[in-house]
Structure 1
Amino acid sequence: MKEESGKIIYDLIGIGLGPFNLGLAALLEKVPEIDALFFEQKEQFSWHPGMLIEGATLQVPFLADLVSMADVTSPYSLLNYLQSHQRLYKFYFLERFHIPRTEYNAYCQWVAEQLDSCLFGAKVLDVEKHDGYYEVKVFNQKSRQLERFYAEHLVLGVGTQPAVPASLEGKLGDSMFHSSEYLNRKDRCLEAESIAIIGSGQSAAEVFYDLLEQQTDYRYSLDWFTRSKGFFPMEYSKLGLEHFSPDYIHYFYQLPQYKKDETLQSQDLLYKGISAETISDIYDLLYERTIGDQNPPVHLQAMTEIQEADRCRNTYHLKCWQWHSEQSFSRQAEVVILGTGYKPVIPSFMSGVYPFIDWDEQGRYQVERNYQLKLKPPYKNDIFIQNGELHTHGIGAPDLGLGAYRNAVIINTITGKGIYKIDSRNVFQTFSTKASAERVTV
């Protein structure tokens, strides 16, 4: 931090406080040479509150906390959280590698409460580029005042936003909503006579299972549609998981962009499928419910796209297209839940900096290997990106297990030092022929 023309200029300002920027703030506690502030418009840390379904777990091991994969000695590890809350023995006896999603959220809140650099209730309105620093305009929601802050570097951690099919965007409301709003709208679901769930990922599956469990109490019919080829499990083999490693990022980053885009289209089941445990739970419950020739009002259908949804009174008429057999049909649902995933967001508050960002041909960020955005002309004050580099760095971009690694790279880049050790060989397999040859030579 330095003072220039009466302005206090921080080394770093982070915008958004999801797990990735929160992890960066935690790791910076051991880096006194970087003075940082982080802003979040929510009043407290809250991670996908609409999907904190009881019994739902993270899809990554507990070591994918905010810090451990970069620094296992950090006081902000999940294990230290458990010990601080007298839960370490309970967790030990639990014998599970995947923790409840609600506990992950509670753990992150515990970390956030300890970090003075994390400011909640602070909405960033605008960012301007000046000679040697960025000016960040922030609305303090508690004082109702506009404040200005200055930093040499920025880290964007605004995450993603719900993806909604274009044909349904204008029809969202109390009875048609994205799965991210599920718990907020669950009472509406329980009042309905018919519910349709759209999508084939983990969120859609968790919503379907939660409603399936309560179907006998509330008597609604339950449809589940996806345009995917089936309700397939996520690839979770040990060698498959090696794609979520710094080694694979290094390999993927060096590919030409057209090859990256092709590759991502073929990797859906590495990060978009359903956990095998959730599929098993669903199947077991369906099996139990059909004993004795029972026929519950449940309908699952893949290879089906919802083309239109017209509302008549309190019911949606869904026009469906089974693309494999090329047949159309219709269904009715009083409530429609869209488990249709998330998409990258380019925040409007960055509009003043847009002209200086070097966009690719598809209007996406171009991102350097160390997570800096490419700027034009090259500028000494960097902007780093968190979970906005899927198209440049590969499928590990949204993965919690690589968040600490990315933050270690960002910290090392800003300081110009090896503050956090970056291992160069983390997996058993080799992705590129060059690396393979080098290994043979050694």
Structure 2
Amino acid sequence: MSRPADVTGEYDVVGVGLGPFNLGLAALLDPVPDVNAAFFEAAPRFAWHPGLMLPGTTLQVPFLADLVTLADPTSRWSFLNYLHERGRLYRFYFYERFHVPRAEFDAYARWVAESLPSCRFGARVTSVSPAGDGWRVVVETADGGVEEHTARSVVFGVGTRPHVPAVARDVLGADVFHTEDYLTYREKAVTASAVTVVGSGQSAGEVVADLLEAGLPGGLTVDWFTRSRGFLPMEYSKLGLEHFTPEYTAYFHGLPGPTRDEIRAGQDLLYKGLSAETSERIYDLLYEATVDRADPPVVYAGGCELRAIEPSPVPGRRWRLTWRQRDQDRTFTRDTDVVVLGTGHEPSPLPLPDGVVAADALGRPEVALDYRLALASGTPSTLFAQNAELHTHGVGAPDLGLGAHRNSVIVNALAGREIYPVRDRTVYQSFGVPEEVRPDDRT
């Protein structure tokens, strides 16, 4: 049973959650003496997608998209300084890679988290509610204690949670699980007789590659189906990457809501899809497995929508999956033992009372260009959100490369002055009507 609550702190800002984005905010606030900050995270320590720390996986963005560099390359919390502190700078120099191992980014972020006095782990924020001109933040600690803090501003960095299709929610467990839990159940998957992977994003592709490498030699049967029309590569051309910039964010935010939704519906491959390296790895594994041998028991197809998961009537199989091929409008079934859901993520709910934040017609929070959550009361807001604004700010919301920019905007708002410069022009491309040929300018 929780102990009675104590008022234990008054802060200028409280951060809720400590994923990479709020951790970056904590790092950028560290040298700002007049902003008193505290960040709370329910997990016992920093861990970034621990279920997907497979050997050989790398970040999908360059190492410059660390917690701070794109806002302040002189920060002591940069990735390069982490390497320097760990005696790895020359090793990285000879490594000659722009995309670093995912495990090393996790180790770097954990180093920052464990070094910043403003970061507290094992402390779950259970509610945030209005209190005078600020906010009352209730925190439950790992030992069952309850703390109450007050803050002038609150920044939510609660991130996302795995999206599980409705057909799978009642059967989740050790043999039906999301890719977020893959390492937890990996041994069961690679030693099973048959595994089905659902989805065609990067996480699903990495799981398939691992299953082919570790399971095919033992006779594993692999099914890989996706609702998408194919196993398509993520957009990674230089001109395409300019969508992950402050300019595009501002352009997108300024469009009407229905227009934003229409645009984003056609932009999946800007932030979803497979990396070229993972696609090549899968194909190469299949090619090598067929040298002087029959094709392995691997089936993969696009345009297939999962309709049902039921116990299998086939002896030795655990589950029967019903699929609909969308283009042909035909239904088929496949039997399997393990199901891995690479079905993406959805925003985690904010620990706020109903009715505090203004929402659009679809129930999504209204988020201003400076990342403030609009209040239903219409009063000026001191609530901010990180990675909860895909629908208002576009495809860059979950991207690590825009985290430092977003945090620069938030830090400047919290401090009431410019701490970190926010550049007006960072790319060559113009979004919308170019300034010099606007019709209004020629009348």
* Corresponding residue of 1:116: 117
The CA deviation at 1:346 is 1.6
Equivalent residues of 2:179, 2:340 under 8 A apart: yes
Say whether 1:198 aligns with 2:198.
yes
Distance 1:376 1:283 in 2: 51
- Superposed CA RMSD in Å reads 1.4
* Corresponding residue of 2:397: 397
Equivalent residues of 2:8, 2:147 under 8 A apart: no
Equivalent residues of 1:133, 1:381 under 8 A apart: no
Amino acid at match of 1:261: D
Amino acid at match of 2:189: C
Change (3 A) 1:116 1:166: same
Equivalent residues of 2:199, 2:226 under 8 A apart: yes
Distance 1:157 1:404 in 2: 14
* Corresponding residue of 1:342: 345
Report SS of the residue matched to 2:243: coil
1:105-127 deviation line (CA, Å, top 9, x unaligned): 00000001110100000011122
Amino acid at match of 1:326: D
The CA deviation at 1:435 is 3.2
Distance 2:266 2:152 in 1: 39
Amino acid at match of 2:374: K
Distance 1:217 1:327 in 2: 33
The CA deviation at 1:8 is 4.6
The CA deviation at 1:393 is 0.4
1:39-62 deviation line (CA, Å, top 9, x unaligned): 000000000000011101111000
Report SS of the residue matched to 2:308: strand
Distance 1:262 1:188 in 2: 41
Structure 2 segments unaligned to the other structure (5+ residues): 1-6
Distance 1:56 1:435 in 2: 42
Amino acid at match of 1:333: T
Amino acid at match of 2:26: A
* Corresponding residue of 2:222: 222
Distance 2:359 2:365 in 1: 5
* Corresponding residue of 1:253: 253
Change (3 A) 1:197 1:7: closer
Distance 1:33 1:378 in 2: 28
1:204-283 alignment to 2 at 5 Å? 204-283=204-283
Amino acid at match of 2:290: T
* Corresponding residue of 2:4: none
The CA deviation at 1:436 is 4.9
Report SS of the residue matched to 1:195: strand
Report SS of the residue matched to 2:239: helix
Report SS of the residue matched to 1:409: helix
* Corresponding residue of 2:3: none
Report SS of the residue matched to 1:273: coil
* Corresponding residue of 1:3: none
* Corresponding residue of 1:146: 146
Say whether 1:407 aligns with 2:410.
no
Of the structure 1 ranges 315-324 and 258-267, higher mean CA displacement relative to structure 2 is found in: 315-324
Q: Percent identity?
A: 48
Of the structure 1 ranges 75-84 and 213-222, higher mean CA displacement relative to structure 2 is found in: 213-222
1:7-406 alignment to 2 at 5 Å? 8-141=9-142, 143-312=143-312, 315-347=318-350, 349-351=351-353, 354-380=354-380, 382-406=382-406
Equivalent residues of 2:53, 2:103 under 8 A apart: yes
Report SS of the residue matched to 1:81: helix
TM-score, normalization: structure 1?
Answer: 0.95
Equivalent residues of 2:372, 2:381 under 8 A apart: no
Equivalent residues of 1:253, 1:393 under 8 A apart: yes
Structure 1 segments unaligned to the other structure (5+ residues): 1-5
Count residues in correspondence: 430
Distance 2:396 2:436 in 1: 22
Amino acid at match of 2:363: G
Distance 2:293 2:217 in 1: 19
Amino acid at match of 1:153: S
The CA deviation at 1:66 is 0.3
Distance 1:145 1:242 in 2: 47
The CA deviation at 1:434 is 4.6
Of the structure 1 ranges 237-246 and 286-295, higher mean CA displacement relative to structure 2 is found in: 286-295
Amino acid at match of 2:250: H
Equivalent residues of 2:140, 2:147 under 8 A apart: yes
Equivalent residues of 1:152, 1:381 under 8 A apart: no
Distance 1:380 1:95 in 2: 48
